[in-house]
Amino acid sequence: MIFQATVISVLFCSVHSFTVQDLLGKTDKHSGNTIEDDEFSISTLLEKANVNVGKNINEPLVMFGDIAMPTGLQNADPCTSRGCLWPKASDGNVYIPYRISNQYSQRERGIIIQGLRSFAATTCIRFTPHNRQRDFVDIESRSGCFSFVGRRGGGQTVSLSRQGCVFQQIVQHELLHAMGFNHEQTRSDRDQHVRILLQNVISGTEPNFRRINTRNLGTPYDYNSVMHYGRFAFSRNRQPTIIPIPNNNVAIGRATQMSPIDILRVNRLYRCNSTSRPDLEPMQTNHVL
Ligand SMILES: [Zn+2]
């Protein structure tokens, strides 16, 4: 019965591509904000992929679009100040053991590994093959794209369904959840940056728009975050559900990869001792793990 209460959602953190101009705060975009423009956004991909999430008794309770919930926990409060960070090694890196299910094809596995490697290019996060460590992320193709928030202890599922979740931005998105990050539009200060139009939201999915008392790590609100929902997330009527303020023409939720601010946040949360300037330099994806 618990699954009847499951918010079968669909995640929306779309993004097409971000540009340096976006990064520098150019906010006068007037195109690309229709629901059709969001057709290939990450949020739309997640929405499609997560249609059946929560219908299988063997799946965890999934709320907030794609966040798996431990039984009994009613929301995704930030846990990063209570011990759900992944531990830092003496060399300054944070090694997160992973296992990838053999469900995937070579091509799919390659995309997932590329997503894992992308963190090493700009942060101190190092995904490393699981080798008897107690805690690890267990990447499997279950029904939809979802993850727990933060380290849960033991093997924790990160679901990347072969039907619609094997894209780099979704790999990054779900693993950012596993590292302790919530959706951008649930930030504690989100009401200064977006307006939520609950009247346009699919009935029963309102919890996806709850504000959370997040740790924002001194970073600005980021419409280009790979963790940001799209403008039409959970829309019941093709009308927007999230509108940026004060300029409602700004594109939101269209990241195709982690934004510089996403990267900065990882570096701050995990106290990465980086000499690079993750807030200014472009993402690089060709580094080794
Ligand atoms: Zn998510």
148-176: per-residue pLDDT in tens?
A: 999 999 999 999 999 999 999 999 999 99
Check the annotation: does 177 bind a ligand.
Answer: yes
CATH number at residue 216: 3.40.390.10
Mean pLDDT of the chain: 80
Q: Tell me the percentage of the chain whose pLDDT exceeds 90.
A: 60
For residue 53, tell me if it sits in a domain.
Answer: yes
Domain extent at residue 84: 35-69+79-270
Residue 255 has pLDDT above 70, yes or no: yes
For residue 286, tell me if it sits in a domain.
Answer: no
For residue 283, tell me if it sits in a domain.
Answer: no
For residue 235, tell me if it sits in a domain.
Answer: yes
Q: Please report the pLDDT score of residue 41 as a whole number.
A: 67
For residue 74, tell me if it sits in a domain.
Answer: no
- Once rounded to an integer, what is the mean pLDDT over residues 199-207? 92
Q: Please report the pLDDT score of residue 34 as a whole number.
A: 80
Q: Among 33-42, 57-66, 190-199, which range has the highest average pLDDT?
A: 190-199
For residue 150, tell me if it sits in a domain.
Answer: yes
Beta-bridge partners for 150? none
Residue 249 has pLDDT above 80, yes or no: yes
Residue 116 has pLDDT above 50, yes or no: yes
Residue 49 has pLDDT above 90, yes or no: no
Residue bearing the bigger pLDDT, 247 or 18: 247
Question: What spacing in Å lies between the alpha carbon of 182 and ligand 1's midpoint?
Answer: 7
Asked if 257 and 169 count as a contact pair (C-beta separation under 8 A), the reply is yes
What 3-state class would DSSP assign to 128?
A: strand
For residue 26, tell me if it sits in a domain.
Answer: no
Question: What spacing in Å lies between the alpha carbon of 245 and ligand 1's midpoint?
Answer: 22
Question: What spacing in Å lies between the alpha carbon of 166 and ligand 1's midpoint?
Answer: 14
| Residues less than 5 Å from ion ligand 1, measured at CB | 11, 66
Structure tokens at 80: 């990063």
* Residues that are catalytic: 174
pLDDT band (50, 70, 90) for residue 50: confident
User: What is the number of domains present in the chain?
Assistant: 1
Beta-strand (E) ranges in 33-185? 61-63, 67-69, 94-100, 125-129, 136-140, 145-147, 155-160
Say which range, 107-116, 209-218, 280-289, has the weakest mean pLDDT. 280-289
CA torsion through residues 86, 95, 88, 122, sign: negative
Residue 250 has pLDDT above 80, yes or no: yes
Check the annotation: does 16 bind a ligand.
Answer: no
Check the annotation: does 130 bind a ligand.
Answer: no
Q: Tell me the percentage of the chain whose pLDDT exceeds 70.
A: 73
For residue 4, tell me if it sits in a domain.
Answer: no
Q: Please report the pLDDT score of residue 258 as a whole number.
A: 95
Question: What spacing in Å lies between the alpha carbon of 178 and ligand 1's midpoint?
Answer: 10
